[in-house]
Chains A and B, each alone.
Chain A
Amino acid sequence: MPLAKVSGIGAVCHAGSTVAEVWDGMTDAVVAPVEIGDAHMDGPVRLIHLVAGSTSERDRSFDGPGRSRAGRLAVRAAAEAVRDAGPGPRPGRTGLVVGSCMGNSGESERVREGAAEEAPELYGIAADVATELGLQGPVLNVANACAAGAYAVGHAADLIATGECDRVVVVGVEAYSRVALGCFNQMAALDPERCRPFAVDRAGTAFGEGAGALVLDRTDGAAAGAAGDVLLGGAGFSCDAGHATAPAADGVQARRAFSVALEEAGLAPEGIGLVVPHGTGTTLNDQVEAELLRDLWPEPADAPPVYSAKALIGHTGGGAGALAAVMAVLCLREGKVPANCDVGELMPQMTGYLHDVPSPVAGAAVVNAYAFGGNNATLVFQGVP
């Protein structure tokens, strides 16, 4: 039985300010990261994939409810997802899970540099979204770093499964943060060119900003799954319990999260029609994930298409898992996946797996999201034919 029905999606990111624009952006595959304007960030790599239509990491080009840039992104994506989903249960049966690691850090940074007098609470985004949408169910924030959006999806499914909610709005969101960019610079984990997952000469990741939102509804057993619906079939989570920042080289726990999600969805690898990997462009992450995929599908001809979201929108941190999920749902709705952005020569293990032309999606869509601390998440979405 599926965990939930994906009744609505919303998105704002480098590829577009609405879901329709994001699909067009995926199709066009135009990538244009810019230098941040923050004069207090002295690290050597200063790139960011801004949200579409924005000219700087602190401009007001996308206005609306919310007390911060991240809050406005989150409200915008969540409102679009709720419109897409249509009428839902009463407010007390509707919950909200926000996945964000840096929260409103950007506003606090402006206060510290003397550019603002007051900042909203670090994780006040959830209250902003819940207030704007009039929700009265459980409202919380999970901060599992770059996998926060995927953890939020998983926890939303738990809220439905326990009977506490009939509908849960999920938002993964991240905006510019000087601290995050500074720490990644200090760790030499940034690519000065752009985000180039699985490229043979990748040099690190490149940040993006954005929000992805999903509305998950309770399914009613056999009644679930009308033609065209997309269902959340499974979710798996694990922790390497090892190094602080590097993924475990053997990928054992990442594979286990993958297996748990597939088992929950009742799927074998042959049933997978699309993989949206975590694929950050950092050396070890892409190595470990490539080996995971190669073990499942040793020959590229037998493998489902792999779509590299971060090559298009950058690494959106806590937003990444949710935005990848939105893209996966879009591909299931459309029945195809656009061509990958060109990242140059691919690492040998992934040659043939990332298509440079649009491909049909024949099967379920899998989303991987990994994070510092060895946090691993895999989500499975299934389209109903």
Chain B
Amino acid sequence: MSVTVVAHSVCLPEDAPEAPRIPSDGAWFDVREHLGRRGYRQLPLPAQLALAAVRRLSPPDGSTAESTAGDRLGLWLGSSTAASHCLADLDGRILSEGTESLPPTGAPYFSVNLVPSRAANDLGATGPSVTVTSTGTAVLDAIACARRALALGRVDEATVVAVEVPDGGQSRGRPTECGAIALQLRTGGAGGHVRTASAFVAGDPASAARLVRANLEPTASVPVLVVEPGGSSSDGPGPLAGALRLVDAVRDGDDLAVVVADPSGAATGVVVEHSPVSTHESDPVRSMTP
């Protein structure tokens, strides 16, 4: 069954230069500007970013999206770093000031699934709320998980929120990104059709990426962007940058495949195709790894 992107949004600095478009820290994010003056300042950064992205969701053509009954609406978070971010902060407080210093609003966020659940609360989404945290590939894994749920009829609509944040030094050479992207997916209809694939080849991200590309089976002319965060440079683009390219493609009506291959050997790819015939160049493979 075809799964389509019906709306998208980004929560990133609006005045960022073209490259890099993903900041490495949250200094740009003003919670009051993005979410309002009351009720959000105590939430951890990943929850703030996720909420801001979800609230900006809008269809590519600017139309008003149809509403889906809450029980048929699911929410998937993809983040390799949100949990590390929250845990590092909470553990730092325990070590320096003891457990009694843990903030009542922030302490429950040791449980990273509160990030999508808080967004589900905003949306009235009472379908599955799923938190995907795979190392490196979580952002695209969340899209893949949501696509499966739609294809199997578990939900009628899926909101996917991709959030990456500074992770307290646990990234082990992977690039640091800070921002959020949201996609709204449904079955059928017009728009960018989504397919996904994943593979694992222990310690060999390049081979895993090749497997994923083969399994994705993109139309020959569809460009394939391979993101290997931390492959040979810690400053290279990361998974959020890859997801942003997918959003750009949806917005512009372009076809694109993005494969994120983590140094562990896990790789996941997402292809967005608008029509069977692509308008792109014949040599589609480009790599974002220097």
Contacts and interface: CB of A to CB of B under 8 A. Distances in A.
Interface residues on B, range: 35 or more
B99 A121 contact: no
A240 B126 contact: yes
Contact of A238 (B95, B126, B199, B264): B126
B71 A179 contact: no
A238 B126 CA distance: 6
B16 to A, nearest CB: 28
B144 interface: yes
Interface residues of A, number: 68
A138 B128 contact: no
Interface in A309-342: none
A101 interface: yes
B129 A141 contact: no
Contact of A122 (B84, B127, B201): B84
A241 B135 contact: no
B170 A239 contact: no
A144 interface: yes
B95 A40 contact: yes
B129 to A, nearest CB: 4
Interface stretch (B21-29, B113-121, B219-227, B238-246): B113-121
B99 A123 contact: no
B87 A108 contact: yes
B130 interface: yes
A135 B117 contact: no
Interface in A228-261: 237-242, 244-245, 253, 256
Given A123-B80, A138-B199, A183-B90, A241 B114 contact: no
B151 to A, nearest CB: 6
B268 interface: yes
Contacts of B102: 182-183, 186
Contacts of B149: 158
Contacts of A350: none
A79 interface: no
B92 interface: yes
Interface SS of B by simple majority: mixed
B236 interface: no
Contacts of A161: 148, 152
Interface in A70-127: 92, 95-96, 101-103, 105, 108-109, 112-113, 119, 121-124, 126-127
B100 interface: yes
Interface SS of A by simple majority: mixed
B75 interface: yes
Contacts of A130: 200, 202, 265-266
A140 B132 contact: yes
Interface in B55-98: 70-71, 75, 80, 83-84, 87-88, 90-92, 94-95, 98
A261 B283 CA distance: 47
Contact of A112 (B80, B91, B99): B91
B264 A186 contact: no
B31 interface: no
B94 A244 contact: no
Contacts of A162: 148, 151-152
B91 A143 contact: no
Nearest to B116: A373
B288 interface: no
B133 A122 contact: yes
B124 interface: yes
B121 A241 contact: yes
A49 to B, nearest CB: 19
A121 B263 CA distance: 11
B83 A122 contact: yes
Contacts of A43: 99
B37 interface: no
The 7 closest A-B pairs by CB, nearest first: A373-B117, A138-B198, A239-B129, A127-B264, A237-B128, A131-B202, A139-B200
8 contacts: A124-B264, A126-B134, A143-B133, A155-B148, A162-B148, A177-B110, A241-B121, A244-B118
Given A144-B129, A179-B94, A375-B129, 15 more contacts: A42-B98, A123-B80, A123-B133, A131-B203, A141-B134, A145-B131, A151-B130, A162-B152, A182-B102, A183-B110, A239-B75, A241-B121, A244-B118, A256-B71, A375-B117
Interface of A: 40-43, 92, 95-96, 101-103, 105, 108-109, 112-113, 119, 121-124, 126-127, 130-131, 134-145, 148, 151, 155, 158-159, 161-162, 164, 177-180, 182-183, 185-187, 237-242, 244-245, 253, 256, 371-375
Interface of B: 70-71, 75, 80, 83-84, 87-88, 90-92, 94-95, 98-100, 102, 104, 107-108, 110-114, 116-118, 120-121, 123-135, 137-138, 141, 144-145, 148-149, 151-152, 154, 167-168, 170, 172, 197-203, 211, 264-266, 268
